Every structure is written in structure tokens, then in C-alpha cells.
């Protein structure tokens, strides 16, 4: 029983690699015709909200530079194009290869956050998070940005963003002011490979959690028996 528990613990503590190797220095989304379609929900209160569909499509690639079109989902808005590059993404909702590698290692130092007066910004990263999208279950890096007041230390704003571990594409975002959710964005369709988890990987994660519970219960029982003696 001891050997079984120790063996299970070693298996659990060994991280399952969900990072897929890339053949080139360019991220998987960097090709002409790549598109990302999002549904954004702006919430005013519990009964009033606005849904806006926005699409991003790369229409031209030249070296490390590219041009993408933004297609707002409102009839009153017109499409417009944006010039960008792999070094300056200029609003395109994805990461370049260097940023993907950094984020996969839990490093989000490349993210520039504009600080409001009398506020403090703290960024944390959790890697290997399973994100549920319309494309399937995707391994992601979760970035949590907390903005707090320097005056009374209260939470002013918190933003959750999930990026695909493999492609660096933004999967979803949620912004809360205090305890109220004010903005939610979700990727609804794309032709970019996201590195979707296979069922064996999902099952492995599920059984990993079960093994953790078994080990914790076993350790607690051993501890209680030792105290009784």
C-alpha cells in the first residue's frame, strides 16, 4: 500500500506536458486567411447587457509583418484594417512565439498594463489550465491581473485571460469591477489550431485528481491512527 501511494504521488507530481512543438519560429496563427471570431458581452447590470460579435482576419502576410481586418458585428460599424508585425501585434488577440514560450513558463513580464493613479497592479500566471471552448477542451495559460487601490487596499478591477498553450490565441477574457462582472469575451470559432486536448489526456487529468484525493484520505487516516496510538 505504501509503495502504491508513493508511486501514485510521483505520477501526480510529474507534470503532463501539454506544450506542442512548433516547427517554425512563427506562431501557428501567423498565416494569410487566419481568422478569430469572438462574442463579447458588455454587462451594465443584471438585466441590461449588450452582445457584440467581433472578428479578426489576417488578409496579408509579408515577412514578419501582416495586415488584419477587424469586422465588428454591428450593422452601424464598418470594417477596418490594421497594420501589425510579430514584434508589434497592434491589438491582434494572440501572442508571438517568444511571448508564448514566456507565458508557458509562467512569465507574463512582457504584458504592459497602464496603471491608474493611486493603484497597484499584480499579475499572476497559472499554466496548464484546461479551458472549455466551442472548439473543444484546450490547454491554456491563465493570466490574472489584479488592480487594487493604494489608499484602502480594496480590489478595484480583476481581469482573467486565457491563452492557448500551443498557439497563443486568446481563448476568453473576463473583467470584473469589484465583485461585479462587466465584460466577457469568448472565442467562438477559428481556423487556427489550438492544440485541443485528446480524450486520453482529459481522462488522465480526471484520474490524476482522483488519485490525489485517495492519497490525501490515506495520509489523513495514517495520521489519525498514529495519534490514537
* pLDDT given at position 222: 66
* pLDDT given at position 177: 86
* pLDDT given at position 113: 75
* pLDDT given at position 12: 29
* pLDDT given at position 3: 31
Name residues whose C-beta falls within 8 Å of residue 213's C-beta, 6 or more positions apart in sequence.
none
* pLDDT given at position 1: 38
d(CA 19, CA 42): 33
CA-angle at 175, arms to 114 and 37, nearest 5°: 100
- Tell me which DSSP letter residue 94 carries: B
Helix H or strand E encompassing 193: none
- Number of C-alpha atoms within 13 angstroms, CB side, residue 226? 6
Query: Are 37 and 184 in contact, with CB atoms under 8 Å apart?
Result: no
User: pLDDT 10s per residue in the chain (229 long)?
Assistant: 333 332 332 222 223 333 333 445 899 999 999 999 999 998 877 666 788 899 999 999 999 999 999 998 765 668 899 999 999 999 999 999 999 999 999 999 998 777 777 788 889 999 989 888 877 888 999 999 988 877 777 777 889 999 999 999 999 999 998 788 889 999 999 999 998 654 444 555 555 557 667 777 767 776 566 666 6
* pLDDT given at position 7: 34
Q: Which residue matches cell numbers 491589438?
A: 91
Strand, helix or coil at 180? strand
Using DSSP bridges, classify how beta strands 49-62 and 65-72 pair: parallel, antiparallel or unpaired.
antiparallel
Virtual CA dihedral for 84, 85, 89, 94, nearest 10 degrees? Answer: 120
Alpha helices in the chain (DSSP H): 2-13, 97-104, 199-228
- Alpha carbon distance, N-terminus to C-terminus of the chain: 20
Cell numbers for 209, please give them: 485528481
* pLDDT given at position 224: 66
pTM: 0.73
d(CA 103, CA 62): 26
Cell numbers for 38, please give them: 469572438
Virtual CA dihedral for 134, 138, 140, 146, nearest 10 degrees? Answer: 30
Helix H or strand E encompassing 128: strand 119-133
* pLDDT given at position 123: 92
Amino acid at each position: 500500500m505504501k509503495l502504491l501511494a508513493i508511486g501514485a504521488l510521483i505520477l501526480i507530481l510529474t507534470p503532463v506536458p501539454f506544450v506542442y512543438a512548433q516547427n517554425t519560429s512563427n506562431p501557428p496563427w501567423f498565416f494569410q486567411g487566419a481568422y478569430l471570431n469572438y462574442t463579447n458581452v458588455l454587462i451594465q447590470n443584471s438585466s441590461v447587457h449588450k452582445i457584440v460579435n467581433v472578428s479578426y482576419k489576417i488578409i496579408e502576410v509579408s515577412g514578419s509583418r501582416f495586415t488584419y481586418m477587424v469586422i465588428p458585428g454591428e450593422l452601424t460599424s464598418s470594417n477596418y484594417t490594421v497594420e501589425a508585425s510579430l514584434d508589434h501585434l497592434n491589438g491582434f488577440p494572440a501572442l508571438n512565439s517568444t511571448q508564448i514560450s514566456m507565458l508557458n513558463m509562467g512569465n507574463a513580464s512582457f504584458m504592459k498594463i497602464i496603471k491608474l493613479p493611486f493603484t497597484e497592479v499584480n499579475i499572476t500566471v497559472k499554466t496548464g489550465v484546461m479551458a472549455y471552448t466551442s472548439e473543444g477542451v484546450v490547454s491554456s495559460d491563465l493570466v490574472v491581473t489584479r488592480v487594487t487601490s493604494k489608499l484602502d487596499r480594496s480590489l478595484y478591477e480583476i481581469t482573467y485571460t486565457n491563452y492557448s498553450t500551443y498557439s497563443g490565441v486568446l481563448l476568453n477574457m473576463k473583467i470584473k469591477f469589484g465583485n461585479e462582472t462587466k465584460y466577457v469575451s469568448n472565442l467562438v470559432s477559428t481556423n487556427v489550431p489550438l492544440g485541443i486536448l485528446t480524450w486520453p489526456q482529459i481522462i488522465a487529468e480526471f484520474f490524476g485528481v482522483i488519485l490525489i484525493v485517495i492519497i490525501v484520505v490515506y495520509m489523513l487516516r495514517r495520521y489519525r491512527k498514529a495519534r490514537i496510538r
